[in-house]
């Protein structure tokens, strides 16, 4: 899909990898972006940076159907269509199976992580796909592209990541059935499993912690640049033959148990 003047919906788009991708899509690809996030202040900052002709911010809860319905309506009213959906919103809340006293973890805590990281992805994907199916197909028969953000933790989760890892593995598990179902509408579905990236949150950690994390990166032995992540999102949107797959973007990193 040619991204020029296409409308890209990005959850978690006001910060971190989501924001970096929004900026890349506008400045490098000439796309329009819709940022779905809870942080209104950060969202307004990005809109000021990118310009109101190129971007819209919608304060949303990805787990709420009415919230996403309202956002989609605002996006279509402004830009007339949705072509790409990148689901980057998520919570990394730790959740051990047993606590220090050997008591079972709260199911509520586990469910909250899955509600945001998995249910939220499905919710936004479904709402965006409904709009994509209304688009006129391009010269390759494409109407839309969905890119769901997983994690390396989906494959090698660390201790305390049972909730996070299972939610991200679930994201990957949607690839094939979603690609098969939505293919007849000209909509592709893929996921990215990023490793360690130099987001503001990671960069704010103690230097010793950053060094220890970077040591798990094999080659190159460094954190990923956020522009490399954004470039990968653009690649998956542009390459019409990539479908139903998870792309690991992690410098051959294999996370250790702790």
- As annotated, the active-site residues are 164
The H-assigned helical ranges of the chain are 16-29, 40-50, 65-79, 107-114, 120-132, 162-173, 175-182, 200-203, 207-214, 226-238
The torsion defined by the Cα of 80, 32, 233 and 228, in degrees rounded to 10, comes to: 180
Q: 242, 189 in Cβ contact below 8 A?
A: no
Give Cα separations from 79 to 9, 35, 221 (angstroms): 11, 13, 41
Beta bridge partners of 148: 87, 191
Question: SS3 for 68?
Answer: helix
CA distance 213 to 58: 34
Show Cβ contacts of residue 52 under 8 Å, excluding neighbours closer than 6 positions.
none
Q: 195, 247 in Cβ contact below 8 A?
A: no
């Amino acid at each position: 899909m040619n991204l020029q003047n296409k409308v890209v919906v990005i959850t978690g788009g006001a910060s971190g990898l989501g924001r970096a991708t929004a900026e890349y899509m506008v400045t490098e690809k000439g796309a329009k972006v819709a940022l779905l996030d809870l942080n209104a202040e950060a969202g307004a900052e990005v809109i000021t940076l990118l310009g109101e002709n190129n971007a819209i911010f919608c304060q949303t809860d990805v787990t709420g159907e009415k919230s996403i319905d309202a956002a989609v309506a605002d996006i279509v009213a402004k830009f007339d269509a949705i072509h790409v959906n990148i689901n980057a919103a998520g919570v990394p809340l730790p959740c051990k199976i047993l606590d220090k006293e050997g008591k079972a973890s709260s199911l509520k805590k586990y469910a909250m992580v899955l509600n945001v990281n998995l249910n939220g992805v499905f919710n936004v994907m479904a709402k965006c796909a409904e709009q994509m199916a209304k688009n006129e197909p391009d010269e390759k028969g494409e109407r839309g592209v969905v890119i769901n953000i997983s994690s390396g933790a989906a494959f090698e989760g660390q201790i305390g990541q049972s909730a996070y890892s299972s939610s991200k593995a679930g994201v990957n598990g949607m690839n094939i059935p979603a690609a098969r179902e939505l293919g007849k509408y000209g909509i592709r579905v893929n996921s990215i499993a990023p490793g360690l990236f130099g987001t503001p949150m990671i960069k704010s950690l103690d230097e010793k912690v950053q060094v220890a994390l970077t040591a798990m990166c094999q080659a190159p032995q460094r954190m990923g640049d956020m522009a490399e992540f954004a470039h990968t999102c653009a690649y998956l949107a542009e390459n019409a033959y990539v479908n139903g797959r998870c792309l690991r973007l992690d410098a051959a990193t294999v996370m250790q148990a702790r």
